[in-house]
A and B are shown apart, each in its own frame.
Chain A
């Protein structure tokens, strides 16, 4: 069960190899979480993290096969986890950034990325919500992005998929009011992980650790939306309202 300070006892990571999620999982385990389930495409790739989490105090770390694109399997795969454990926290971490130039060349690849980020997110999110309703409690953390706030021309396919996911997270959160379940949307800026490896960092670029701290704080406060770093909330309050020609210039890089 989640305690009065937002500490949880069990965690399911959808996208169990995500570097941001790994950082969150480490912090959550250090704060008394004992059961972790890592759901990933490549289950072998989670071994390192699993060992690390056990060293940090987790009693049970399990890995299961999960593919965001295999939508038909979500109900069964996620349902199985909830059958074995009460799950306090689910992190919806899977996502692909892709390359806009490549998407321009291969629209099918763009559609596939959207299928992971948005369609997969909707499916896994709804399956999780149903389980939470049955449990009467649970928090779903959705890794959205500042890109959801306003689409940039350099990655608007990604941005639009995150915008969809972010809107989904908000609506789902509202619909769960009174059920004991809640949704927290996390909007990180540019985070140094393998997803952004080799790219030119954006202003206010940050680390997975900072995102993890923001999530821990948000859980303690019961926040609906969390920005990382937190200043981006104000930066994007401004960005959102910039006149189109100005935004066009800024978002070109």
Chain B
């Protein structure tokens, strides 16, 4: 193979850059070429780089950019899509929404690939109803380190299938996959918005009525302390039926426009997002949300991907970047969630509104993140070394009640906590060792967290 260009890579958080040789693949066949003759420091797949930390980086090794391999087709009879790993949910939605289909699960951004969705076994606002991405996958093709291809289905080869679901690219290179897509009667979401004055109230509201909605998420203000700690805006909804649309919408029930309205250039200084500016933002944001509004019709981008309206918004954190901390604690550990939020807000953790969500049943993925309970996620500016002290402590607390951190968001967890947060880690490692005895699949995250 000719010498590939050296490329400095980071995740979405722009932290801990490392350099790798970048191979771009524009078709499934090129994906196979791209993993031939692996270098000593191995190979890892990379989708759209929306993971916050380092799972799609491989210092001194090779990184395969899959985004050029992006064909897909919709089988309208069966409601099934077959897509190459590099296809993005953005492309998919543009193609299938007009035909009355939606993706089974969507994260807070539509700029993720099918490969990334499988490798992180991603979840969306419908996890309490629909589970995670890999629950909807019928089959996938995985390229092994030796270039052979295996066809995986959850029925025929459950071990390797579920080791790959959430396996962060470390079991092989996903070439393509088939997954079920639900039908919708319109491209509008019927949304109920409610404000909650504090954490207890929002959690009670979610416990009582989340099951009535397909999609649910609460945005929490972590900066306000005292009585208003955990004040939130709760947004829940489901796709509108045809008869619920206004006359104007009925003319084009599957209208779908997803535009980037502005682009944030990389000119922002670090420290712009400080405690004060974020406090002001959170206050404005909370006040502008309606106290109570039922049955509002929102578009897909409005409801599911509000952040995508600004391209490269990660640049506003400046050159030092930022990271995300996302945990899940099991049902029954509500006190722990309280403690965690109290610590974050009282220790002056600078964060835009955080997100709180309830999870339903886990998928069988060995390293899949979601588990029945509560998940909290927040963005934090990088650059303050002391932040690790607080978060290390919270990691312990979370692990102590059987909770865990999300690998797709992590960029700083202590490796010692991995086996406690992911009790099936060893089982996963054994499967991995069997399919990749030569240790070809490697990443910065794998090295950092001792996954190999």
Asked if A2 lies at the interface with its beta carbon under 8 angstroms from chain B, I say yes
Whether A137 pairs with B414 at a CB distance below 8 angstroms is no
Given contacts A1-B448, A3-B412, contact A31 B16 (CB under 8 A): no
Query: Does chain A have a CB within 8 A of B384?
Result: yes
B19 touches which of A5, A32, A136, A216 (Cβ 8 Å): A136
**Residue A180 lies at the interface, judged by CB distance under 8 Å to chain B:** yes
Determine if B382 and A220 form an interchain contact, defined as CB atoms under 8 angstroms apart: yes
Please give me the residue from chain B that is nearest to A32 by CB atom.
B414
Residues of B close to A173: CB separation below 8 A: none
Query: Does B447 sit at the interface, judged by CB under 8 A?
Result: yes
| Complex contact B8–A3 (CB within 8 A) | no
Cβ B18 vs Cβ A7 within 8 A: no
Partner of A7, one of B320, B388, B447: B388
Partner of B411, one of A3, A135, A179: A3
Q: How far is the CA of A178 from the CA of B388 in the complex (A)?
A: 27
Is A79 interfacial (CB 8 A cutoff)? no
Contact A1 B412 (CB under 8 A): no
- Is the Cβ of A4 less than 8 Å from the Cβ of B447? no
Chain A residues whose CB sits within 8 angstroms of the CB of B392 once the complex forms: 32
Q: How far is the CB of B329 from chain A (nearest CB, A)?
A: 22
Collect the chain A residues with CB atoms within 8 Å of residue B308's CB: none
Residue A128 at the B interface, CB < 8 A? no
Cβ distance B277 to chain A, nearest Cβ, rounded Å: 19
Known: A180-B8, A180-B18. A7 touches B385 (CB 8 A): yes
Q: Which residues of A contact B448 (CB under 8 A)?
A: 1, 3, 9
Let me know if B16 and A1 touch, CB within 8 A: yes
User: B16 — which chain A residues lie within 8 A by C-beta?
Assistant: 1-4, 137
Residues of A within 8 A of B15 (CB): 3-5
The answer to whether B41 touches A5 (Cβ under 8 A) is no
Total A-B residue contacts, Cβ distance less than 8 Å: 89
- CB of A4 within 8 A of CB of B411, answer yes
Q: Does B107 contact A (CB under 8 A)?
A: no
Partner of B6, one of A5, A9, A86, A178: A178
Cβ of B384: which chain A residues have Cβ within 8 Å of it?
5, 220
In angstroms, how far is the closest chain B Cβ from the Cβ of A181? 8
- CB atoms of A219 and B412 under 8 A apart: no
Instruction: For the complex, give the distance between the alpha carbons of A86 and B392 in Å.
Output: 23
Residue of A2, A9, A135, A219 touching B60 (CB-CB under 8 A)? A135
Inter-subunit contact B60/A221 (CB<8 Å) = no
> CB < 8 Å: which of A86, A134, A219 contacts B385?
A219
Which B residues, 1 to 31, have Cβ-Cβ distances below 8 Å to chain A?
Answer: 6, 8, 13, 15-20
Q: Report the nearest A residue to B61, measured CB to CB.
A: A136
Q: Are A222 and B320 in contact (CB under 8 A)?
A: yes
Q: Which residue of B lies closest to A179 (CB)?
A: B19
* A192 contacts the other chain (CB 8 A): no
Indicate which residue in A135, A178, A220 contacts B8 across the interface (CB closer than 8 Å).
A178
| B121 on interface, CB distance cutoff 8 Å | no
CB of B385 within 8 A of CB of A6, answer: yes
Q: Is A217 part of the binding interface, using a Cβ–Cβ cutoff of 8 Å?
A: yes
Which residues between 52 and 95 of chain B lie within 8 Å of chain A, taking CB atoms? 53-54, 58-61
**Within the assembled complex, what's the spacing in Å between the Cα atoms of A137 and B447?**
12
Chain B residues, CB < 8 A from A181: 19
Q: Name the residue of chain A whose CB is nearest to the CB of B58.
A: A136
* Closest partner residue, chain A, to B19 (CB atom): A180
Known interface pairs A7-B412, A178-B6, A219-B385; A1-B19 also in contact (CB < 8 Å) = no
> Contact between B59 and A137 (Cβ–Cβ < 8 Å)?
yes
A179: chain B residues within 8 A (beta carbon)? 6, 8, 19
CB distance from A5 to the nearest CB of B (A): 5
Interface: B221 (CB within 8 A): no
Does B385 lie within 8 Å of A1, measured CB to CB?
no
Give me the interface of A with B, judged by CB distance under 8 Å: 1-7, 9, 31-32, 86, 134-137, 178-181, 216-217, 219-222
10 contacts between A and B (CB under 8 A): A1-B16, A3-B16, A4-B13, A7-B385, A31-B385, A137-B19, A178-B6, A178-B19, A179-B6, A179-B8
Besides A180-B8, A221-B270, 9 other A-B contacts (C-beta < 8 A) = A1-B54, A1-B445, A3-B388, A4-B321, A32-B388, A134-B60, A135-B59, A137-B19, A216-B385
